[in-house]
């Protein structure tokens, strides 16, 4: 299914606000189902990266240059997590000061969202992956922000600005400069996807226990990505 350009920009925004609305109206107490959705999204996004993005960036381009940008994307995400404390893959270890806007958390999440928007343009499968990734992340982020001491207006400003970053990345990818260099930014995004997806998938379960439900949703995510 080919989405119109305007839909490509709107759907990621809706995904973020869907996550926020879910938290606002339901006040979820049990995070187990959210963690399973997160595991599915990690498997789905990682699989789409292998199926869709990797073959494209290596096709007709210098392999070592592509590999350097992929590694650069991994390092970029590692750097961003010094400030986001793992919010991109569902962990929130940030201590907010009352009524103070979390600037570093905001900027790191925005850079992450901007980069992940680049490969969406012209690739509807990746759009599915980003949507499924964004909803559980938005839920976890919203739980954290709503339970903090921040004013509601500040929380809404945070969510609203964050929701615009991925469409902005998609818009940037339509520039004429991207005709010759788009594969490099896509390679950077691949590195980001690799990092957050593998962290989601391979983080140890509590007590290093075998989790059958998590394994099932991971296999399901891979299978669905293959069929998309």
Query: Domain span at residue 49?
Result: 5-227
Distance from chain centroid for Cα 87: 10
Q: How far apart are CA 124 and CA 110, in angstroms?
A: 22
The per-residue pLDDT of the chain, averaged, comes to 85
The two three-digit tokens of residue 79, written as one number: 């750097």
Domains contained in the chain, number = 1
Report the distance separating Cα 194 and Cα 196, nearest Å. Answer: 6
Half-sphere exposure of 90 (CA within 13 A, CB side): 24
- What is this structure's pTM? 0.87
pLDDT digits (tens, 9 = 90+) for 146-200: 888 788 888 999 999 999 999 999 888 887 767 777 889 999 999 999 999 888 8
pLDDT interval class at 81 (50, 70, 90): confident
Residue 2 reports pLDDT greater than 60: no
Q: CA 57 to CA 43: how far, in whole Å?
A: 20
Give the pLDDT score at 162. Answer: 94
- Structural tokens at position 27: 């006040």
Instruction: Note the pLDDT tens digit of each residue in 93-106.
Output: 555 655 577 888 88
Length of the chain: 228
How many CA atoms, within 13 angstroms, populate the side-chain half-sphere of residue 186?
Answer: 25
């Amino acid at each position: 299914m080919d989405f119109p350009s305007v839909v490509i920009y709107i759907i990621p925004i809706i995904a973020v606000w869907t996550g926020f609305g879910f938290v606002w109206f339901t006040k979820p107490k049990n995070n187990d189902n959210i963690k399973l959705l997160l595991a599915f999204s990690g498997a789905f996004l990682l699989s789409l990266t292998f199926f869709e993005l990797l073959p494209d960036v290596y096709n007709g381009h210098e392999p070592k240059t592509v590999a350097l940008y992929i590694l650069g994307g991994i390092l970029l995400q590692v750097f961003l997590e010094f400030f986001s404390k793992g919010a991109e893959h569902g962990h929130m270890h940030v201590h907010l000061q009352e009524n103070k806007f979390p600037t570093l958390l905001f900027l790191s999440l925005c850079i992450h969202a901007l980069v992940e928007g680049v490969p969406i343009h012209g690739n509807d499968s990746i759009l599915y992956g980003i949507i499924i990734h964004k909803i559980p992340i938005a839920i976890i982020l919203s739980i954290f922000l709503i339970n903090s001491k921040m004013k509601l207006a500040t929380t809404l400003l945070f969510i609203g600005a964050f929701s615009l970053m991925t469409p902005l990345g998609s818009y940037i990818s339509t520039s004429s400069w991207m005709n010759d260099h788009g594969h490099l930014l896509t390679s950077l995004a691949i590195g980001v996807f690799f990092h957050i997806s593998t962290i989601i998938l391979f983080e140890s379960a509590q007590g290093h226990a075998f989790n059958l439900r998590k394994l099932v949703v991971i296999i399901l995510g891979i299978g669905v990505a293959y069929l998309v």
